[in-house]
Homo-oligomer: A and B are copies of this chain.
Amino acid sequence: MIDKNSPLPIYFQIEEQIKRQIESGEFQAHNALPSEREYAEQFEISRMTVRQAINNLVNDGYLYRQKGRGTFVADKKLEQQLNGLTSFTEDMKARGLNPSSKLLSFEIIPANKKIANELHISTYAPVYEIKRIRLADDVPMALETMYMSANLIKGLTEEIINLSLYQYIENYAKLKIDYATQTLESAIASDTEITHLAIPKHSPILFIQRNTFLQDGTPLEYVKSAYRADRYKFTINITR
């Protein structure tokens, strides 16, 4: 399996072998791999060399590790459609997944500088801060924090959030959503995200900041989402 005299590094040979085994279906998603010590013994190499191979595959999203349990084959990345103003709910339904949310907190706070700037309001003006975990088939997918001006949208309650926020905005509050800006950025998961998304340390995270505006240009919301980078691939449909 491994050629120690090859000019190719041993760790690279192991990487290629494991990738082949995943692609051929020999290793299925969420199957446990042989332990690092088993690989080291089998190939008569140091465990650090095995770790170098596995580290790379973890970084590339092929595998994930769990301390004390083992190393496992990751899911294939989902393609994420970003069709216009597609919401998380619609997005997940389109994939045949069952979307749900878990409300972490819902409060009215004074806007800090950043929030005030994003929403074009004064500092300390009241804003809703809504934190949610977004799940698909009960698997945590993203950690979302949403800010909206409390002076713009009045009478928001937990119930409305759990039903349909955008329907309320358009039908009840009579506000027309017009356009949005999304910025995609990748980063390493913070402790909060690790906890809420149930992912290993140092996992890659896809940050999406969405700013939604009304027809008159008023900012409606400012949303920060931390998506599990191991579950997404983005598709954007552009119409002109």
Q: Is A182 close to B, CB under 8 A?
A: yes
Instruction: Give the number of times this chain occurs in the complex, counting copies.
Output: 2
Q: By the criterion CB–CB under 8 Å, are A240 and B202 in contact? A: no
B184 pairs with A233, CB closer than 8 A? yes
Enumerate chain A interface residues (CB-CB to B < 8 A).
48, 55-56, 59-60, 77, 79, 82, 84-85, 177-186, 188, 202, 233-240
A236 and B184 in contact (CB under 8 A), knowing A56-B202, A59-B59, A202-B56?
Answer: yes
Q: How many angstroms from the CA of A240 to the CA of B237 in the assembled complex?
A: 11
Complex A-B: 30 CB contacts under 8 Å: A55-B55, A56-B202, A59-B59, A60-B188, A77-B185, A79-B183, A84-B238, A85-B240, A177-B240, A178-B240, A179-B237, A179-B238, A179-B239, A179-B240, A180-B237, A180-B238, A181-B235, A181-B236, A181-B237, A182-B236, A182-B238, A183-B234, A183-B235, A183-B236, A184-B184, A184-B233, A184-B235, A184-B236, A185-B234, A236-B236
Tell me, in angstroms, the Cα distance from A70 to B26 when the chains sit together. 40
Complex interface: chain B residues within 8 A of A59 (CB): 59
Question: Is the beta-carbon distance between B60 and A181 smaller than 8 angstroms?
Answer: no
Q: Residue of B at shortest CB range from A61?
A: B186
Chain B residue contacts of A77, Cβ below 8 A: 185
Report the nearest B residue to A84, measured CB to CB.
B240
Contact partners of A234 in chain B: CB under 8 A: 183-185
A59–B188 CA distance with the chains assembled, in angstroms = 10
Q: Are B79 and A235 neighbours in the complex by a CB distance under 8 Å?
A: no
Write out the residue numbers on chain B whose beta carbons fall within 8 Å of the beta carbon of A240: 84-85, 177-179
List the B side residues contacting A55 at CB < 8 Å.
55
What residues of chain B lie closer than 8 Å to A236, measured between beta carbons?
Answer: 82, 181-184, 236
Which residues in B have their C-beta under 8 angstroms from that of A180? 237-238
What residues on B are CB-neighbors of A186 within 8 Å?
Answer: 186
Contacts of A48 on B, CB cut-off 8 Å?
48
Question: Chain B residue with minimal CB distance to A55?
Answer: B55
